[in-house]
Amino acid sequence: MNQILSIDNSGEKNIKAKNKKAKKSGNKGPIEISSIVKFFSISICLFGIFMIGVALYGIYKQSNTEVSNTKPTILVEEISENQINLKISHDKAMSKLVYSWNDEEQIEVQANGRRNIEQLVVIPTGTNELEVIAIDMNGQETRYKRTYTVQGDIEISLSVDGNNIKITAEGKNELSYLTYRWGDSEETRVDINDMTVEERIETLEGSNILTVIVVDINNTVETKEQEVIGTTKPKVEIGTDGANNFIIIASDEQGLKRIEFLINEGDEDEDKNFMNLDGQKEIEYPYPFKEGENRLEVRVYNQNDVVEIKRVKVDR
């Protein structure tokens, strides 16, 4: 009996020990699942924070790009018939502001890093084109162009007339005189005493500044300056070979464009011919005689359409 009870007790102890182990091993499952859930929750949160950060950076970058691409604004306000006010505004500092009339020398206005600039500008008399250029510190640029016409007491115009410059002036009142000069050379005076005047002066070779000043009886003064690129006339010589032909020699430093021949103008046997020379600088050309009287006229044009005319007469 004692032995049986002893066996039973040990069995009961073993059973209790097994139950304890079973309880310990049974608790392990829920602990592992909870850790996994926490891990994934933290991972999802971190991923969400990362995506929000990426989105915010993209918005920030786009915003900065939009700001950097903005350009200055140019507003032109008309103050009077011959005055305007330039108003430049921007969200960034300005680095340069210039304006010019008729693509001539630019006039610079000090920007000094300002964001708002105003500049009063006088409109010249006549018809003139204004160009305004505003540039910010990032190099963003805005341009403005407009043509203005102001009727003054005196109007002056300059135009090319062959190898000459034609000066035309017209006044609301009688014009007293005009002066003109090339560059810094001495002035030449022309008396007018009329409401209008036309004066032709020979151009100088190369690029030169012509200054014309016109004064009326009320001492109103109008000045006009213009760059003139002058050219000399082609050189033309006409001889004969002593037998059957005229010999025409023509040359020009800028290049020859065209040569025309007209023989016995007004006669029934009148003959006209021409040649295109395509920029040749010199040409020697034989032109045949006709029977009897030969009245030859030669017209030579250079690349600037300046013409030289020579006439000769030969009897056969």
Q: Do residues 180 and 167 lie in contact, with contact meaning Cβ atoms separated by under 8 Å? A: yes
- For residues 258, 263, 268 and 269, what is the CA-based torsion angle, rounded to 10 degrees? -90
Residue 105 in domain: yes
CATH of the domain at 291: 2.60.40.2150
Do 214 and 244 fall within a single domain?
Answer: no
Residue 28 in domain: no
The single-letter DSSP state of residue 102 is: T
> How many domains are there within the chain?
3
Distance CA 236, CA 53 (A): 83
| Structural domain boundaries enclosing 286 | 235-315
**What residues form DSSP beta bridges with 237?**
249
CATH of the domain at 210: 2.60.40.730
Do 135 and 162 fall within a single domain?
Answer: no
Domain boundary among 150, 171, 195: 150
Helices (H), the chain: 2-68
Do 215 and 265 fall within a single domain?
Answer: no
Domain boundary among 135, 150, 165: 150
Residue 278 in domain: yes
Domain boundary among 95, 128, 150: 150
Residue 301 in domain: yes
Residue 254 in domain: yes
Selection from 248, 234, 232, 264 nearest residue 298 by Cα:
248
Residue 216 in domain: yes
Per-residue pLDDT of the chain (316 residues; tens, 9 = 90+): 344 344 445 445 554 555 554 445 444 445 566 777 677 778 787 877 878 877 777 766 665 544 557 999 999 999 988 899 999 999 999 999 999 999 888 999 999 899 999 999 999 878 899 999 999 999 999 999 999 988 888 989 998 887 789 999 999 999 999 999 999 999 999 999 999 999 999 888 778 999 999 999 999 999 988 888 777 788 999 999 888 899 999 999 889 999 999 998 877 667 788 999 999 999 999 999 988 889 999 999 998 888 899 999 998 7
pLDDT of residue 82: 86
Do 196 and 213 fall within a single domain?
Answer: yes
Residue 215 in domain: yes
Do 140 and 108 fall within a single domain?
Answer: yes
- For residues 170, 172, 174 and 177, what is the CA-based torsion angle, rounded to 10 degrees? -40
Do 183 and 243 fall within a single domain?
Answer: no
pLDDT of residue 3: 41
Residue 25 in domain: no
CATH of the domain at 85: 2.60.40.10
Do 131 and 194 fall within a single domain?
Answer: no
Selection from 198, 153, 199, 150 nearest residue 173 by Cα:
153
Do 137 and 80 fall within a single domain?
Answer: yes
Do 108 and 167 fall within a single domain?
Answer: no
